[in-house]
Protein backbone atom coordinates (compact mmCIF):
# COMPACT_ATOMS: atom_id res chain seq x y z
CA UNK A 1 0.00 0.00 0.00
CA UNK A 2 1.42 3.38 -1.04
CA UNK A 3 1.56 6.15 1.58
CA UNK A 4 2.52 9.75 0.80
CA UNK A 5 2.93 12.82 2.95
CA UNK A 6 2.35 16.41 1.78
CA UNK A 7 3.51 19.30 3.95
CA UNK A 8 1.06 22.19 3.69
CA UNK A 9 2.92 24.66 5.89
CA UNK A 10 3.23 25.23 9.64
CA UNK A 11 2.32 21.88 11.26
CA UNK A 12 -0.27 20.84 8.66
CA UNK A 13 0.20 17.71 6.54
CA UNK A 14 -1.93 15.57 4.25
CA UNK A 15 -1.37 11.84 4.73
CA UNK A 16 -2.63 9.69 1.86
CA UNK A 17 -2.68 5.93 2.42
CA UNK A 18 -4.08 4.16 -0.59
CA UNK A 19 -7.49 5.80 -1.06
CA UNK A 20 -7.62 7.14 2.51
CA UNK A 21 -6.95 10.88 2.99
CA UNK A 22 -6.13 12.15 6.49
CA UNK A 23 -5.30 15.78 7.31
CA UNK A 24 -2.93 16.35 10.22
CA UNK A 25 -4.03 19.77 11.48
CA UNK A 26 -5.78 22.12 9.07
CA UNK A 27 -4.09 25.54 9.08
CA UNK A 28 -3.54 26.17 5.37
CA UNK A 29 -4.79 29.68 4.53
CA UNK A 30 -2.15 32.03 5.94
CA UNK A 31 -1.30 35.73 5.74
CA UNK A 32 -0.34 36.89 2.22
CA UNK A 33 3.21 37.75 3.33
CA UNK A 34 3.89 34.12 4.36
CA UNK A 35 5.48 31.94 1.69
CA UNK A 36 2.75 30.32 -0.43
CA UNK A 37 2.42 26.58 0.05
CA UNK A 38 0.78 25.93 -3.33
CA UNK A 39 -2.71 25.08 -2.07
CA UNK A 40 -5.67 26.79 -0.40
CA UNK A 41 -8.59 25.48 1.63
CA UNK A 42 -10.94 26.09 -1.30
CA UNK A 43 -8.92 23.63 -3.42
CA UNK A 44 -9.39 20.75 -0.99
CA UNK A 45 -12.18 18.43 -2.11
CA UNK A 46 -11.14 15.12 -0.52
CA UNK A 47 -10.65 14.24 3.13
CA UNK A 48 -11.84 11.32 5.24
CA UNK A 49 -10.41 12.36 8.60
CA UNK A 50 -8.85 15.44 10.21
CA UNK A 51 -6.73 14.96 13.36
CA UNK A 52 -5.98 18.08 15.38
CA UNK A 53 -2.98 18.26 17.71
CA UNK A 54 -4.32 21.18 19.75
CA UNK A 55 -6.84 24.01 19.58
CA UNK A 56 -4.75 27.10 18.73
CA UNK A 57 -5.69 28.86 15.50
CA UNK A 58 -2.48 27.93 13.67
CA UNK A 59 -3.56 24.29 13.89
CA UNK A 60 -7.37 24.30 13.95
CA UNK A 61 -8.39 27.21 11.70
CA UNK A 62 -9.64 25.70 8.43
CA UNK A 63 -10.77 22.34 9.82
CA UNK A 64 -14.37 23.53 9.89
CA UNK A 65 -14.30 24.37 6.16
CA UNK A 66 -12.60 21.11 5.16
CA UNK A 67 -15.14 19.15 7.21
CA UNK A 68 -18.12 20.96 5.70
CA UNK A 69 -16.81 20.52 2.14
CA UNK A 70 -15.71 16.90 2.36
CA UNK A 71 -17.76 15.36 5.17
CA UNK A 72 -14.55 14.41 6.99
CA UNK A 73 -14.65 13.50 10.67
CA UNK A 74 -12.57 15.69 13.01
CA UNK A 75 -10.65 14.01 15.84
CA UNK A 76 -9.40 16.33 18.57
CA UNK A 77 -9.61 17.46 22.16
CA UNK A 78 -12.92 18.35 23.78
CA UNK A 79 -11.99 22.02 23.30
CA UNK A 80 -11.39 21.42 19.59
CA UNK A 81 -14.78 19.72 19.32
CA UNK A 82 -16.48 22.57 21.20
CA UNK A 83 -15.02 25.14 18.79
CA UNK A 84 -15.87 23.10 15.70
CA UNK A 85 -19.47 22.62 16.83
CA UNK A 86 -19.72 26.38 17.37
CA UNK A 87 -18.40 26.79 13.81
CA UNK A 88 -21.29 24.71 12.47
CA UNK A 89 -19.67 21.29 12.03
CA UNK A 90 -22.33 18.60 12.65
CA UNK A 91 -21.92 16.56 15.82
CA UNK A 92 -21.75 13.31 13.84
CA UNK A 93 -18.52 14.60 12.24
CA UNK A 94 -16.84 15.28 15.61
CA UNK A 95 -14.92 12.74 17.68
CA UNK A 96 -13.60 14.10 21.01
CA UNK A 97 -10.54 12.39 22.53
CA UNK A 98 -8.23 12.97 25.47
CA UNK A 99 -5.59 10.27 25.07
CA UNK A 100 -5.89 6.51 25.42
CA UNK A 101 -8.23 5.98 22.45
CA UNK A 102 -7.59 3.78 19.42
CA UNK A 103 -9.66 4.71 16.37
CA UNK A 104 -10.22 2.65 13.26
CA UNK A 105 -9.80 4.93 10.22
CA UNK A 106 -10.27 2.20 7.61
CA UNK A 107 -10.16 -1.58 7.42
CA UNK A 108 -6.34 -1.42 7.42
CA UNK A 109 -5.44 1.84 9.17
CA UNK A 110 -5.86 2.91 12.81
CA UNK A 111 -4.65 5.78 14.97
CA UNK A 112 -3.90 5.76 18.70
CA UNK A 113 -4.14 8.98 20.72
CA UNK A 114 -1.78 9.99 23.54
CA UNK A 115 -1.71 13.02 25.87
CA UNK A 116 1.12 15.44 25.20
CA UNK A 117 2.45 18.90 26.12
CA UNK A 118 2.45 22.29 24.42
CA UNK A 119 5.67 24.23 23.91
CA UNK A 120 6.50 26.86 26.56
CA UNK A 121 5.07 29.88 24.74
CA UNK A 122 5.07 31.72 28.06
CA UNK A 123 8.89 31.56 28.21
CA UNK A 124 10.94 34.74 27.89
CA UNK A 125 12.41 33.03 24.81
CA UNK A 126 9.21 31.76 23.13
CA UNK A 127 10.72 31.47 19.62
CA UNK A 128 14.46 30.79 20.01
CA UNK A 129 16.82 29.86 17.19
CA UNK A 130 17.51 26.14 16.87
CA UNK A 131 20.97 26.39 18.47
CA UNK A 132 20.08 28.95 21.15
CA UNK A 133 20.58 27.44 24.59
CA UNK A 134 17.81 28.41 27.03
CA UNK A 135 18.17 27.77 30.76
CA UNK A 136 16.15 28.37 33.88
CA UNK A 137 12.44 29.27 34.21
CA UNK A 138 11.79 26.03 36.10
CA UNK A 139 8.86 25.71 38.47
CA UNK A 140 6.86 28.60 36.98
CA UNK A 141 3.26 28.24 38.17
CA UNK A 142 0.28 28.21 35.85
CA UNK A 143 -0.84 31.62 37.13
CA UNK A 144 2.60 33.08 36.44
CA UNK A 145 2.58 31.55 32.96
CA UNK A 146 -0.76 33.19 32.22
CA UNK A 147 0.61 36.58 33.29
CA UNK A 148 3.60 36.13 30.98
CA UNK A 149 1.32 35.18 28.10
CA UNK A 150 -0.27 38.63 28.23
CA UNK A 151 2.99 40.06 26.85
CA UNK A 152 2.86 37.58 23.96
CA UNK A 153 -0.72 38.54 23.05
CA UNK A 154 0.26 42.22 23.23
CA UNK A 155 3.14 41.57 20.84
CA UNK A 156 0.86 39.80 18.36
CA UNK A 157 -1.54 42.75 18.49
CA UNK A 158 1.26 45.15 17.52
CA UNK A 159 2.24 43.33 14.31
CA UNK A 160 1.40 44.47 10.77
CA UNK A 161 -2.15 45.30 9.73
CA UNK A 162 -2.42 42.14 7.60
CA UNK A 163 -1.33 39.97 10.51
CA UNK A 164 -3.79 41.62 12.89
CA UNK A 165 -6.60 41.18 10.35
CA UNK A 166 -5.66 37.52 9.92
CA UNK A 167 -5.60 36.95 13.68
CA UNK A 168 -9.09 38.43 13.96
CA UNK A 169 -10.40 36.23 11.13
CA UNK A 170 -8.80 33.12 12.64
CA UNK A 171 -9.94 33.82 16.21
CA UNK A 172 -12.36 31.01 17.00
CA UNK A 173 -12.62 31.58 20.73
CA UNK A 174 -10.15 28.92 21.86
CA UNK A 175 -9.80 28.66 25.63
CA UNK A 176 -6.14 27.77 25.53
CA UNK A 177 -4.65 24.84 23.64
CA UNK A 178 -7.31 22.38 24.81
CA UNK A 179 -4.70 19.83 25.81
CA UNK A 180 -2.05 18.86 23.26
CA UNK A 181 -2.28 15.38 21.74
CA UNK A 182 0.03 12.93 19.94
CA UNK A 183 -1.19 10.55 17.23
CA UNK A 184 0.37 7.23 16.24
CA UNK A 185 -0.86 5.86 12.92
CA UNK A 186 -0.56 2.14 12.17
CA UNK A 187 -0.71 1.21 8.48
CA UNK A 188 0.23 -1.86 6.43
CA UNK A 189 3.24 0.10 5.12
CA UNK A 190 4.55 1.36 8.47
CA UNK A 191 3.80 3.47 11.54
CA UNK A 192 3.83 7.28 11.79
CA UNK A 193 3.86 9.49 14.87
CA UNK A 194 2.46 13.02 14.53
CA UNK A 195 3.32 15.91 16.86
CA UNK A 196 2.32 19.52 16.17
CA UNK A 197 3.94 21.42 19.06
CA UNK A 198 7.27 21.08 20.87
CA UNK A 199 6.31 19.22 24.02
CA UNK A 200 6.01 15.69 25.34
CA UNK A 201 5.73 13.35 28.31
CA UNK A 202 8.94 11.31 28.31
CA UNK A 203 7.25 8.29 29.91
CA UNK A 204 4.87 8.09 26.96
CA UNK A 205 7.41 8.59 24.19
CA UNK A 206 9.81 5.96 25.46
CA UNK A 207 7.19 3.26 24.93
CA UNK A 208 6.46 4.18 21.31
CA UNK A 209 8.48 2.95 18.35
CA UNK A 210 7.23 4.65 15.15
CA UNK A 211 8.96 4.01 11.85
CA UNK A 212 8.61 7.72 11.04
CA UNK A 213 8.10 10.61 13.46
CA UNK A 214 6.82 14.08 12.57
CA UNK A 215 8.30 16.30 15.30
CA UNK A 216 7.62 19.97 15.91
CA UNK A 217 10.67 22.22 15.74
CA UNK A 218 9.60 25.63 16.98
CA UNK A 219 9.48 27.42 20.31
CA UNK A 220 10.99 26.43 23.62
CA UNK A 221 10.50 22.72 24.16
CA UNK A 222 8.43 21.35 27.02
CA UNK A 223 9.55 18.12 28.70
CA UNK A 224 7.21 16.70 31.33
CA UNK A 225 5.79 20.15 32.07
CA UNK A 226 9.08 22.04 32.33
CA UNK A 227 11.01 24.04 29.69
CA UNK A 228 13.93 22.24 28.08
CA UNK A 229 17.29 23.09 29.59
CA UNK A 230 19.17 23.43 26.34
CA UNK A 231 18.44 24.23 22.71
CA UNK A 232 15.58 23.40 20.37
CA UNK A 233 17.96 21.18 18.37
CA UNK A 234 18.83 19.25 21.53
CA UNK A 235 15.13 18.96 22.35
CA UNK A 236 14.37 17.33 18.98
CA UNK A 237 17.35 14.99 19.34
CA UNK A 238 16.23 13.91 22.82
CA UNK A 239 12.86 12.95 21.40
CA UNK A 240 14.56 10.90 18.70
CA UNK A 241 16.57 8.98 21.30
CA UNK A 242 13.32 8.09 23.08
CA UNK A 243 11.33 7.17 19.96
CA UNK A 244 14.13 5.64 17.84
CA UNK A 245 12.39 6.28 14.50
CA UNK A 246 14.04 5.45 11.20
CA UNK A 247 13.10 8.90 9.88
CA UNK A 248 12.23 12.29 11.36
CA UNK A 249 10.15 14.85 9.48
CA UNK A 250 10.02 18.37 10.95
CA UNK A 251 6.87 20.43 11.45
CA UNK A 252 6.06 24.00 12.49
CA UNK A 253 9.52 25.18 11.40
CA UNK A 254 8.67 27.57 8.54
CA UNK A 255 7.97 31.31 8.79
CA UNK A 256 4.20 30.83 9.02
CA UNK A 257 3.41 34.23 10.60
CA UNK A 258 5.99 36.83 9.48
CA UNK A 259 6.87 39.26 12.23
CA UNK A 260 6.25 36.66 14.92
CA UNK A 261 7.60 33.32 13.70
CA UNK A 262 10.98 32.56 12.18
CA UNK A 263 12.16 30.02 9.63
CA UNK A 264 14.15 27.55 11.71
CA UNK A 265 17.70 26.75 10.59
CA UNK A 266 17.65 22.96 10.44
CA UNK A 267 21.44 22.63 10.42
CA UNK A 268 21.81 22.44 14.23
CA UNK A 269 18.97 19.91 14.39
CA UNK A 270 20.68 17.73 11.81
CA UNK A 271 23.94 17.94 13.79
CA UNK A 272 22.31 16.99 17.10
CA UNK A 273 20.42 14.11 15.50
CA UNK A 274 23.65 12.79 13.98
CA UNK A 275 25.27 12.98 17.42
CA UNK A 276 22.52 11.42 19.53
CA UNK A 277 20.43 9.37 17.06
CA UNK A 278 22.79 8.39 14.23
CA UNK A 279 20.42 5.73 12.90
CA UNK A 280 17.68 8.31 12.36
CA UNK A 281 17.52 10.17 9.03
CA UNK A 282 16.26 13.76 8.96
CA UNK A 283 13.89 14.35 6.04
CA UNK A 284 13.57 17.98 4.97
CA UNK A 285 10.40 18.35 2.94
CA UNK A 286 9.23 21.18 0.75
CA UNK A 287 5.57 22.00 0.34
CA UNK A 288 3.34 19.56 -1.57
CA UNK A 289 6.08 17.06 -2.37
CA UNK A 290 3.99 13.87 -1.95
CA UNK A 291 6.90 12.30 -0.08
CA UNK A 292 6.75 8.45 -0.03
CA UNK A 293 6.89 8.37 3.73
CA UNK A 294 7.55 4.63 4.26
CA UNK A 295 9.42 3.83 1.06
CA UNK A 296 12.61 1.84 1.61
CA UNK A 297 11.99 1.10 5.30
pLDDT at res. 268: 98
pLDDT at res. 155: 80
Positive or negative torsion for Cα 193, 199, 200, 205: positive
pLDDT at res. 152: 82
Q: Return phi, psi of residue 135, to 5°.
A: -130, 160
- Digit-coded pLDDT (tens) for 190-220: 999 999 999 999 999 999 999 999 999 999 9
pLDDT at res. 102: 98
pLDDT at res. 69: 97
| pTM strictly above 0.95 | yes
pLDDT at res. 68: 96
pLDDT at res. 35: 94
Q: Give pLDDT < 50 ranges for the chain.
A: none
pLDDT at res. 126: 83
CA–CA–CA angle 261, 24, 274 (5° rounding): 65
Assigned CATH class of 3-292: alpha beta
pLDDT at res. 254: 97
Q: How far apart are CA 262 and CA 264, in angstroms?
A: 6
* CA dihedral of 62, 64, 70, 75, whole degrees rounded to 10: 100
- Digit-coded pLDDT (tens) for 116-142: 999 999 998 888 999 999 999 999 999
pLDDT at res. 153: 81
Amino acid sequence: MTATLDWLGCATFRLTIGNLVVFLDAYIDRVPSAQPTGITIDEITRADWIVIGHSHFDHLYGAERIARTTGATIIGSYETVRIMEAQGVPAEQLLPVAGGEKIRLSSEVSVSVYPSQHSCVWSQSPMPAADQVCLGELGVTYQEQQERLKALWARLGSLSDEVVAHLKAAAQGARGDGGALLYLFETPAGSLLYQDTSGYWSGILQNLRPDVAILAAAGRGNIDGEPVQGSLAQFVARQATLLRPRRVVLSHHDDWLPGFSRAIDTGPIREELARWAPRTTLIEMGYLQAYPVFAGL
